[in-house]
Amino acid sequence: MSHRIVTLPGDGIGPEIMAPTLELLRAVGDFEFEEHLFGGASIDAHGVPLTDEVLDACRRSDAVLLAAVGGPRWDTTDPDRPRPEQGLLGLRKGLGLYANLRPVKPLPALYDASPLRRERIEGTDMLVVRELTGGIYFGEKTRTATSASDICSYTTAEIERIARTAFGAARAKVTSVDKANVLETSRLWREVVSEVHSREFPGIALEHVLVDNAAMQLVSSPRDFDVILTENMFGDILSDEAAMLTGSIGMLPSASLGGESASGDAAGDGRGPGLFEPVHGSAPDIAGRAIANPLAMFLSAAMLLRHGLELESEAAAVESAVQRALDAGLRTPDLGGDAGTAQATRAVLDNIE
């Protein structure tokens, strides 16, 4: 059976890493790809970063694969002008994608590429579970000539559903990150996470850590983490910090999934399509130079296969091919080497089994 995947190349290096990723997917299965404009490219063509037609196409798909959005040509502080990132927020909201999963597992071949010492990152294997559709990014915003405000708010149901995702993914321990010594939303967060833990997941250990402490522990003892659970903005920051443990943000994939409504009920006819994308941005400084690292995009495709389409063996084949290529010496410029996008793609394709 052919699976229909909507592809959103986006901006900057996005199209450059999308094309080889589709070549990789064709090597492991039968897929139908439907490409659409998104982000800055959509602003240039349609005046908005996400059109209703593209959102509808994403809803009808089996999975959505996104490369990158944004760039300096669309940067603006004018609230009345569209920004590429608004398309990403709209896509997450429109598809009900409340759970962002970012695995962080430095590969032995890249231990020496990390800014941290090898002995500090050896054995690190964590998952950052970030709440994606609530918090300060989606709260009411105000702006006057002399002041501005952004409201951060969460409901009990929103916290419960992301907590269940984190506990369900944990092997042994969930570290819930908040700022409960200062923020009322964090106090509610801590209370609700504790209730879900005691009621539904008593066999999993739970610890609460303040976000500033968590940021320090990520670089001092990253192997101590199993699953990190946190709200939208904290998760945005901590997951980018954790990405550097791998040696480059160009190595980190992500999956955004849904399943429950904000009230805690099942969303429609079960879970809708997931969104899969590398954590890195559009890297406009290297766009068009054919040197972009496609590996995070390849690993995002593996997450699409596993979490979006339930194709475990195909996902494992992609991940194994990436690891074997790195073991054999593949290094892109961000990893201290000189392999371009095409060379990196060939190295991975040659290792597909």
Pick the catalytic residue: 93, 105, 224, 236? 236
CB 256 within 8 A of CB 93: no
Q: Could you give phi then psi for residue 124, rounded to 5 degrees?
A: -70, 130
Pick the catalytic residue: 150, 173, 179, 224? 179
80 is catalytic: no
Pick the catalytic residue: 75, 212, 338, 350? 212
Pick the catalytic residue: 93, 105, 137, 150? 137
226 is catalytic: no
Pick the catalytic residue: 93, 173, 224, 240? 240
DSSP state of 2: P
CB 334 within 8 A of CB 281: no
Which distant-in-sequence residues (6+ apart) come within 8 Å of 164 by Cβ?
A: 196, 200
Q: How far apart are CA 80 and CA 324, in angstroms?
A: 48
11 is catalytic: no
CB 306 within 8 A of CB 274: no
Count CB neighbours of 79 within 10 A. Answer: 9
179 is catalytic: yes
Angle, vertex CA 107, rays to CA 335 and CA 112, nearest 5: 50
236 is catalytic: yes
Any idea which residues carry the catalytic annotation? 137, 179, 212, 236, 240
